[in-house]
Amino acid sequence: MNDAPSRRQVLAGGLAAAVALGAAAPDDLAWGVIGEPLSQADGIAPEAELDLARSLGFTRLRVGLTGASAEVGRLEALIELGRGRGVSILPVLSGGDLDRASPKRLKRDAFDLARGLAERFRGRVAAWELGEELETFALLQPCERRDDGSRHPCEWGPASGAGPGDYFGPRWARVSAVLAGFSDGVAAGDAAARRAIGAGGPGHLGAFERLVHDGVAWDATVWRDHGGASEGELDVLSGYGKPIWLTALGAPPAGAGPLAEAERASRLVERIAFYRVMAPRFGVQAAFVERLLDPVGGAGARDGLVEVERGPGGAWRAGRPKASAEAVGRALKSGRRTTPA
């Protein structure tokens, strides 16, 4: 799987994806960040998120999209706002009633949603990420039967996802149906748009073998890294002959206090340097740092690059950039090292 022709395919695919993303610096990755301007749950204006992302050196913004009409309308505006600021948008399509709907229904609904959106945004959205951590729905749970009839030990936790046998067949059929529907739908709606598909959980390499077996087509291989992705994983991923996109690049939770935040900043910078070295070897073409803003109201992990705070009148607004924001901004603006260490 990892022979020389595959390597050439990776590099060729990386060039095609760079063109699709509008990469301005062919000697570096396309750097993006995860934002949430479509939900508007925090009340922060999308212009503020885009300006902040650009000020830190990002030229891509990854945003979740359910297909709700209000979100689609906001995406229209966001694309135009981003264009004026040199920031392109990577929408992430997810959804489907995996618990109850049949694979046939899931595939049809996913196809219709993806085709409609791809047609509407033809020529304005160069790439779509399809599904987000959907493979985790199908991981074998204790006592469940593998495809070969053996039982996943009842005393174990969920399967690791490292191999194709780590997924429960009936649930995987639903996951595969959604991803196939999304992939076919985008292709039908905009043949030029790139389709980014992959796995979200750590070490879930077995999902890709299943995708190939099911005939699901994709143009960029999605992987996530929260501080532990290895050269070995990248080597396996590059064997599929597609450019690799890190659609969530983070660091383990740092805890509270300035020392912990300084450690997180250091680890993020280390991962940026790591992927700049790995890019020419394995076809890593894009990376999106997780994430731009802290969640509002103190809910969830404080994993944003920038704090949020209450402004005049009680509305939320972007607050102080953290040490991680300043460190990441410096790293992105410093250029890349093209020679492996």
pLDDT value at residue 302: 78
Q: What is the pLDDT of residue 40?
A: 65
* Other Cβ atoms closer than 10 A to 248: 19
Q: Closest Cα to residue 63, out of 55, 73, 71?
A: 71
Give me the pLDDT at residue 254, please. 54
What pLDDT score does 24 carry?
Answer: 38
pLDDT at 20: 44
**Which pLDDT score is estimated for 3?**
41
Using CA atoms, how far residue 299 sits from 62, 102, 294, 303, 304, in Å, is 21, 34, 9, 11, 12
**Distance of alpha carbon 225 from alpha carbon 242, whole angstroms:** 18
**Which residues of the chain have a pLDDT value below 50?**
1-25, 337-341
Residue 316 pLDDT: 87
Residue 86: per-residue pLDDT: 97
Helices 231-238 and 4-21 cross at an angle (nearest 10°) of: 90
Pick the CATH number of 4-333 from 3.20.20.80, 3.40.50.10490, 3.40.50.10540, 3.40.190.10: 3.20.20.80
Extents of the domains making up the chain: 4-333
Pairing type for strands 306-310 and 284-289 reads unpaired
pLDDT at residue number 270: 93
Q: Is 141 helix (H, G, I), strand (E, B) or coil?
A: coil
pLDDT at position 7: 43
Under DSSP, is residue 310 helix (H, G, I), strand (E, B) or coil?
strand
Residue type, 181: G
> How far apart are alpha carbons 77 and 94 in whole angstroms?
21
